[in-house]
Amino acid sequence: MFTRVNLIYATLLVLVLSTGYFLDGMFGLLIIVNSAVGMVQEIRAKRTLDRLALLNHAPIRVERADGVHEVRSEDVVLDDIVVIAAGDQIPVDGTLIDATALEIDESLLTGEADPVLPEPGNAVLSGSFVVAGSGRILATAVGPDSYAERLAAEASTFKKPSSQLRAGIDKILKYITWILVPVGLATIWNQLAGGQEWRDALRGLVAALVPMVPEGLVLMTSVAMAVGVIRLGRRNCLVQDLPAIEQLARVDVFCTDKTGTLTEDGMRVSRIEVADSTDRSPDDPDVFAVLATIGHAEGKLTGSMAAVLEHVRSQQPLATTRLIAFSSARKWAAVQLEAPRAGGISWVFGAPDVILPADCELHARAESLSTEGHRVLALASSAQPVAESGLPEALVPVALVVLDQRLRADVPDAIRYFRDQQVELKVISGDNAAAVGAISEQAGIPDGRVAVDARSLDPEAPEFAREIAAHTAFGRVTPTQKRAMVHALQGDDRIVGMTGDGVNDVFALKDADVGVAMGSGSPAARAVSRIVLLDNSFATLPHVVAEGRRVIGNIERVATLFLTKTFYSALLAFLVVVTAIPYPFLPRHVTLIGVFTIGIPAFFLALAPNTARAQDGFVRRVLGQAVPGGLGAAFAAYGAYLAARSVFGVEEATRVMNSSTALLALIAVAFFVLIAVARPFAWWKVALVAAMMGCVLAVLVTPLGRTVFDIDLRDWRAVALALGFGAGGILLRTLAGLLLRGRWRRRLSDVRRPAT
């Protein structure tokens, strides 16, 4: 309610009401309409976001006297014991009680990308992410007393997501405010100096200033954004900040993870293949027991580990002396047993191409299975102890665990949409490059079969950016490489969208122009993303992109209508002051034109389908359309008014006839601008324009309309003058548009070029 536009309108309303001409204060209803419609839409959007945020809520596990409970973040109290695991965002400040291979990422708080390895007794801070392992924390500060909350409240350098659209509109409104004061002073001086009675002078002032304010532009922007949030909410898409919708409309390259994004969440172990060099069987108890031990030691299971545990569920875990939890950077997990099993004291489980020798039989078999689209993990043993610094020596290949991962059924259609919209896709995964290529090819991603092993890429090398631009699919990508790939694309002036669901995607999601997380992904991924797909469906992304394009494209379209009115009003006021004649219109005339040629049509056009990709230069493009329209409209109205004064005279008795002539000429140009903005036509747009013309015609020809709006067009000469100058204004608008868009010379050369 308390906006710059409403303040200007309220001031002008008080002025016009002081004259006693209450009908001229009809524009004051726009204050109520602006506020009411904006409030209703924003409240609806707020309720939608609240409902979705509840679905997106990540419960916190606390250990109390009666066991482990899942509670909301606001229900955590001092001295609670909070259980944390890989992928969690730490909700409180506290002291680490115990830990199992715990690694914490504090980059959001400190800017340091390297994981921290805390020991029991160390302090941990809220806002950090658990990269690997698990542990328990004694809460020492919760809610607003926690470090993350204090940092958010006190950080003066916090920068909200940028919005080119809102910045452009704010810039336009600022310029208009500067223009209003001198134009208003010059207009009122001109009216009074011309001998007008003060009431008529004030009415002329208000009539000159009201159309200069694009009252509906801010409203339409809010409504379009809010409706976009509601529409996406119905598709279980949580928009965590409104500018994300706008930015997504500008995206021209999408980087996507493979597992959990292109493929289904759930996996299953199809078989276990043991090395020929051993005498083990696929259901060897030692293999099953070690897999169960590694799986149970993980604080939070990945999809792969959950499938492995499901396969070996009958086995009990073994006693261990050391555990190294799985991390995306290492791509392996390891345990050191209290009592050696057959094959060694240490067991390593992870990526075959990382832990297996390149010349062993299982390595070649894993490559072959990966090219078929399977996810493959390897198990190896060693007589040497394990350490975080690297793999134990003398690893002996033991077995391959083959998992089935299925492409999501709706992914190919989504990929096809992006291809049609000329949005480039890149698959960036930590999985084996061959498996990434196989899935990319199944999804229909161009050149996806040839996947690059990211271990051969150096982010510091000068050719890194060229490699990223030249290829489509990448495997064995580390979290820091993912972020470097996003930066490389951004350095090439690309607008980058990033999708992911794991803690290994956090860096890239945070640094991308638009981070999109899966609802079933880690809390860390959801926390740093601007959009969350709560239904975990990659196929929702086309709807999100389309909604962003609809919002931005339509706001740009209706902005042309509002700013055309602003420009012709300012120009008309200037001409009236320079030539020292009375202002031709009453405030009620301005209301008539604003409602039927701008206000009502803009509301419907702002919600229409629009698939054009948003581009930079909002203000320049809008002014390129609005300035020619404003020139044509001002010429038509001013020319018709002067002509009417010369034909009908300048006496008070002919004032209504003169104003009506100018009004009809202005209406003709205004409808031409509306028709141009409404293109390309659809049946409902034709019906909309026809309905608006019918309403204006009813006002012009009916006795009630003529009386309420003080119009008199009964003399055929007035109609002829109005239509003639209206046609001239339309021609001027067309020519000015051609000149501004740089097409005039090109069209002349086309005319003069000999036929071939």
Write out the two tokens for 82.
Answer: 């909070």
The HSE-up count of residue 595 (CA atoms within 13 Å, CB side) is 16
| Distance between CA atoms of residues 442 and 439, nearest Å | 5
Please, what is the end-to-end C-alpha distance for the chain in angstroms?
Answer: 62
CA–CA separation, 379 vs 348, rounded Å?
A: 6
Of 254, 245, 204, give the one whose Cα is nearest residue 226: 245
Question: What is the SS3 string spanning 480-538?
Answer: HHHHHHHHHHHHCCCCEEEEECCHHHHHHHHHCCEEEEECCCCHHHHHHCCEEECCCCC
- CA atoms of 267 and 306, how far apart (whole Å): 8
C-alpha closest to that of 728 among 653, 654, 656, 632: 632
Pair of tokens at residue 618: 């909002």
Q: Is the dihedral of CA 63, 68, 70, 71 positive or negative?
A: negative
CB atoms within 10 A of CB 177: 15
Q: How far apart are CA 543 and CA 535, in angstroms?
A: 13
Distances (CA, A) of 3 to 8, 165, 170, 187: 9, 17, 12, 25
Query: Which one from 257, 286, 353, 513 is the annotated catalytic residue?
Result: 257
For the record, the structure tokens of 562 come out as 């509002």
Task: Give the whole-angstrom CA distance, residue 613 versus residue 220.
Answer: 19
Q: What is the DSSP letter of 390?
A: B
Active site residue 286: no
Element (H, E) at 444: none
Closest C-alpha among 659, 704, 688, 526 to residue 601: 688
Q: What is the DSSP letter of 380?
A: E
Contact 4, 177 (CB under 8 A): yes
Report how far residue 725's alpha carbon sits from residue 717's, in angstroms, rounded to the nearest whole number. Answer: 12
Q: Which amino acid is located at 280 in the chain?
A: R
HEC secondary structure over 233-266:
HHCCEEECCCHHHHHHHCCCEEEECCCCCCECCC
How many helices (H) and strands (E) the chain has is answered by: 27, 20
Maximum Cα–Cα distance across the chain: 114
CA distances from 281 to 308, 339, 342, 378 (A): 17, 22, 13, 15
Could you tell me which of 483, 49, 408 has the C-alpha nearest to residue 229? 49
Task: For strands 81-85 and 60-64, give the pairing.
Answer: antiparallel
Residues with Cβ within 8 Å of residue 241, at least 6 apart in sequence: 160, 161, 530
Buried-state track 293-331, b at ≥16 Cβ within 10 A, e below 16: bbbbbbbbbbbbbbbbbebbeebebbebebbbbbbbebb
Tell me which DSSP letter residue 145 carries.
G
CA distance 380 to 353: 12
Nearest alpha-carbon partner for 566 in 221, 222, 192, 174? 174
Residue 292 near residue 309 (C-beta atoms within 8 A): yes
* 710: region left, alpha or beta (phi > 0 left; psi from -120 to 50 alpha): left
Indicate which residues carry an active-site annotation.
257
